[in-house]
Amino acid sequence: MKLTIIGMSGSYPGPDSPASCYLVEQEHAGGVYRLLLDLGNGALGPLQRHVDLDKVDAVLLSHLHADHCIDLCGYYVVRKYALDAPWPRIPVYGPAGTADRMARAYDLPLDPGMHEEFDFRAFPTGTFSLGPFQIRTTMVEHPVPAYAMRLEAGGRSLVYSGDTGECRALVELADRADLFLCEASSVEGIELPPGLHLTGKQAGEHATSADVGRMVLTHIPPAIDTKQVFREAEETYTGELEVARPGAMYSL
C-alpha cells in the first residue's frame, strides 16, 4: 500500500499546503487501484502531480466540511467536461446526504446533481470492499457527522482519523495499525470546544493506546506551530513519528 500526502493543512489551505487530501494506491487486478481520502480546498491542482485525474477509482469523504470535500466540485467539472468526457462514474463514499450537499455547493439541481459523474454511497455499517481494500469506518467526535477510516490490503493497515476530538472509537479502529494518519489541529493551552479537534499530546495518547506502528500528524492549521505539535506528540507517543508534508510518500 502506498500513501501520498496531497494536502495536510487544517481547516483551510495554507501557503505551503492545500487542505486535507491523501492518495492511497494498491496493486490490483494487474494494475493499480487509486482512491482519495478527502478532497479539500486547493487539493485538486497538486493532486495532478501524482496521478492523472481519470485514473482515480474512488473517493472517500470523511465529512462535509469544506476543507475535506469542496474540491469535489472541481473534480465534477473535470469528469463532466474533459475533452474525452464524460468519464465513467466512480464511487464517492461519505456521510448520508453527501450527494445533495455537493450539488448545492455547485448550485446544481439536486436531480441529476453530480449523480451522472459520481456514484454516491453512504458509509455502510461494518466492513466493505473497494478494489483491493477492506474498509471499516467509525463515527468520531466532531460537530457534524464525521468518520475515521481503516484501510487494509496486502496484509497492511492504514487508519485515517478524519477530524475528531478525543474519541475511544478512534482508538479501537486504530488498534495495532501499521500507519496512523492522525489529525493534530491544536496545542495545549488553546481552549477548543469539546469534540472538535485533537492536540498533538492527545494524538500521541490515542496512538499509544492503539499501539500503532507509526504515526503521521496531519490537519495542522497554518497558524499552529508544527514543531510544537510534534513535541507534544512525542511526549505521549514513543513510536515512529513525523509531521505530514505535501508530496511525502509512505510505503506500507
Q: What residue type is assigned to position 221 of the chain?
A: P
Q: How many CB atoms lie within 10 A of CB 89?
A: 14
Q: What is the pLDDT of residue 16?
A: 97
Q: What is the pLDDT of residue 154?
A: 95
Instruction: Render pLDDT for 117-163 as a digit per residue (tens, 0 to 9).
Output: 999 999 999 999 999 999 999 999 999 999 999 999 999 999 999 99
Q: What is the pLDDT of residue 203?
A: 98
**Rounded (10°) angle between helices 200-210 and 226-236:** 30
Q: What is the pLDDT of residue 27?
A: 98
DSSP 53: G
Answer for the pair 20, 38: CB distance below 8 angstroms, yes or no: yes
Closest residue by Cα to residue 74 from 50, 40, 33: 40
H-run or E-run covering 205: helix 200-210
Q: What is the pLDDT of residue 249?
A: 98
Closest residue by Cα to residue 160 from 43, 62, 32: 62
Whole-prediction pTM value? 0.98
Q: Measured between alpha carbons, how far is 3 from 180 in angstroms, rounded to an integer?
A: 11
Q: What is the pLDDT of residue 192?
A: 87
Q: What is the pLDDT of residue 86?
A: 86
Instruction: Render pLDDT for 90-116 as a digit per residue (tens, 0 to 9).
Output: 999 999 999 999 999 999 999 999 999
Residue located via cell numbers 436531480: 111
Q: How many CB atoms lie within 10 A of CB 46?
A: 16
Q: What is the pLDDT of residue 85?
A: 87
Q: Which residues of the chain have a pLDDT value below 50?
A: none
